A and B are shown apart, each in its own frame.
Chain A
């Protein structure tokens, strides 16, 4: 009780910073991702898709897992970024992909800022409907202005210049995967930094109890606007990546399915610890890939079943079973 505040203060610094320290399992995760570049050269196309989905899911996790904003229209920003990147390349406004990526991300962030004011108030249901509505409207705007966007045919005839003027995209997907993985990793680092900062702490407080957060002087709305803007930028960069590595962009980038799948990905992986979106993206894509070969027509049945199981049983309980099972296995071996 009578410890000097000075000593406590130093201990505090240590303890508060502890959450931000890198865990061994995190290093293993990223080492595995880097290893996949060399060990799975034949899978780079699907791996690039996974990296993009992971980045997109990370973006949703920033608003859902850290600020409690649920969205059924996150594809609005993904699609906006995708079309920005497509138009920049088609009209040769910015040829260098990294620069075009940054500009597309900023454009999506600006759209996120403008629409963030629609999700400040209201219940989860209101937010679901507002975000869904915004995505639907954007899709129809893209459809309507077909002179610019190509309408239902999509943006045709895009050529993407080599990344940084050196690494050209090709049919193997090597450059595409390394590019998508590198961008996802860098943006992950920034997101990790952000959630462990005082700003990240205040976001969690806003999610947990907005009434009290305001009562200690936190501007709840300013926090929500800020994170929604950042998340929109992330989603826009994910969309721009897709356009760049596929050299194509169609209305599908705004689709409701894309937003709904994204929510699925995050629920499979879990929210609020940053890796949920990444792990969810890997599991979702692998499951989709595997099930689609097993039962091409009915693969969504199994995705649906997994979803129901996760939501009803709960991830923690399943993790508990796994833990028990792991304890049982050596027991059984010993008995034999």
Chain B
């Protein structure tokens, strides 16, 4: 059985700088796979390569065994690959209802309907309602997104990706910037994702990584530096060195 997501020799140069260098990564089906590494290690670049925002200089990407290296970003979504962004990328003048409605109607192939009034398909609306309920957004569904508290916007950021009903979901620092009192809501929503959805996520918060990930890859300077179970990574002296600096290892 092919991997949910697989890269082979994936590289991307920016001028003289290699933001991704010969990355060969395999993500198993149903995985909870964390991608960690110091700032500037190329984690977000890797997500951008996987989703097609950036074109790789070399290498290939397989989604469930199918080569998607050259596909446009929106085509990859159609094949079951969705993502969230490190910095919220929402539609400021939309309501959460319109935001989720947009994604659901696009997924069901009605996004191009131009003669029908939006909201006139009841089956689709139930789909929208269940996403809004799951992410505790039903109460705020008529407020413009730009007026929502940051925690709610962060939930919507994730809900929007989930509304695409992906089989592989890429989360770019889901808890970034979320105030302490809202964190549990984000974590709970991530933990409640269906088991059969493959999740690859970037995170700096080690508590989150170690409580949620079943496999961890460490990225340093654009290359895969180490990979293993959380226990193996926690024990790895080289990883510690990268994260804490040399003196920590000496101590």
Binding site for B on A (CB under 8 A): 1, 3, 5-6, 8-10, 12-17, 19-20, 193-194, 196-202, 204-205, 208-209, 211-212, 214-220, 222-223, 226
Contact = CB atoms under 8 A, between A and B. Distances in A.
A238 to B, nearest CB: 20
Nearest to B51: A215
A13 B120 contact: yes
Interface stretch (B126-134, B198-206, B215-223, B230-238): B126-134
A181 B26 CA distance: 63
A222 B107 CA distance: 16
B125 A9 contact: yes
A64 B89 CA distance: 22
A210 B237 CA distance: 43
B160 interface: yes
A200 B111 CA distance: 9
A198 B138 contact: no
Interface residues of B, number: 52
Interface stretch (B27-35, B95-103, B185-193): B95-103
Nearest to B124: A9
Most chain A beta carbons < 10 A, residue from B72, B74, B130, B160: B74
Contacts of A20: 117-118
Contacts of A205: 91, 94, 102
25 contacts: A1-B133, A9-B128, A12-B97, A12-B129, A13-B122, A16-B97, A16-B101, A196-B118, A197-B115, A197-B116, A198-B114, A199-B113, A200-B114, A201-B98, A208-B92, A214-B53, A214-B72, A214-B74, A215-B83, A215-B161, A217-B78, A217-B103, A219-B74, A222-B112, A223-B112
Contacts of A16: 97-98, 101, 117-120, 125
Given A5-B126, A12-B119, A199 B114 contact: yes
Given A8-B129, A8-B133, A216-B164, 11 more contacts: A8-B138, A12-B125, A14-B119, A15-B119, A197-B113, A197-B115, A198-B110, A199-B113, A205-B91, A212-B90, A215-B53
A14 B141 CA distance: 13
A215 B158 CA distance: 12
A204 B97 CA distance: 14
B136 A199 contact: no
Closest 3 CB pairs of A and B: A16-B119, A217-B77, A199-B114
B125 A198 contact: no
Interface in B46-94: 51, 53, 72-74, 77-78, 82-83, 85, 89-94
B102 A202 contact: yes
B196 interface: no
B115 A211 contact: no
A25 to B, nearest CB: 20
B44 interface: no
A1 B137 CA distance: 9
Nearest to A18: B119
Contacts of A17: 117-120
Nearest to B113: A198
A198 B107 CA distance: 12
A10 B91 contact: no
Most chain A beta carbons < 10 A, residue from B107, B138, B164: B138
